[in-house]
Copies of this chain bind each other. A is one copy, B any other.
Amino acid sequence: MEAQMKIAVLGTGDVGRTIATKLVELGHHVVLGSRSPDNEKASAWSAAHEERAEHGDFARAAAHGEWVFNCVGGMVALDALEAAGAENLAGKIVIDLANPLDFSKGMPPTLSVCNDDSLAEQIQRAHPQAKVVKTLNTMNCQVMVDPSRLPGVHDVFVAGEDVQAKAEVGALLRSFGWTQIVDLGGIQAARGLEMWLPLWLKLWGAVGSGDFNIHVVKADA
């Protein structure tokens, strides 16, 4: 990971804009990508972060990025990455933050893929030349970019096939303030990370906000 990188952030929702803003603050040059090149949220965001911030359609963003953050909704992630273009993802680190939550059948949402597959695995299969790393999907976006907002130690997880890619993503996570980064192994571990969401949603109700995370407590060495 270099000090200043060109990064694509796909998705103009809360997650995408929060990640994009953090990356710009850290000195990276971000193109925020959306389905249409004149998305209003993306225009407003790039206007508000003039320096090092642009916007464009998925393909333009992905072509710009040395790395690509997938922050679109999980139900449309495969379509968005197809629109981004396989040639614009090949050889690059693709950081997948999406959760395949399907709200179409009412509450609670279900997962559109789970148990013997995951969204991250689907993305990796669709883009075999990309280096997909699943991370950050287990918490809300305020916590993603500012872990110090919660007291004490808590954890972020990474999963992916490419060890070097996970190390580089780990360096980026440390620049966000993360100190506890747990490597769960290959991309298949994304099943567990995505299947965490139903419990996360119930905890949201129990805690009364999404402002929480988990810490893995181990026996003393």
Contact = CB atoms under 8 A, between A and B. Distances in A.
Interface of A: 105, 108, 110-111, 114-116, 149-154, 159, 182-185, 188-189, 191-193, 195-203, 205-207, 209, 211-220
Q: Residue among A193, A200, A213 with the most chain B CB within 10 A?
A: A213
This chain's copy number in the assembly: 2
Contact of A182 (B152, B206, B218): B206
Contacts of A114: 114-115, 195
Contact of A212 (B110, B188, B219): B219
Given A184-B203, A185-B205, 16 more contacts: A114-B114, A149-B219, A150-B217, A151-B219, A182-B203, A184-B199, A184-B206, A185-B206, A192-B197, A192-B200, A195-B195, A195-B198, A196-B199, A211-B218, A214-B216, A214-B217
Contacts of A211: 218-219
A137 to B, nearest CB: 11
Q: Residue among A151, A195, A199 with the most chain B CB within 10 A?
A: A199
A202 to B, nearest CB: 4
B219 A209 contact: yes
B202 A184 contact: yes
B199 A192 contact: yes
Contacts of A193: 199
A156 B216 CA distance: 13
Contact of A219 (B150, B189, B191): B150
A111 B116 CA distance: 9
Contacts of A214: 214-217
A195 B188 CA distance: 15
Contacts of A192: 197-202
A206 B154 CA distance: 16
A216 B195 contact: no
Given A111-B115, A114-B115, A116-B110, A203 B216 contact: yes
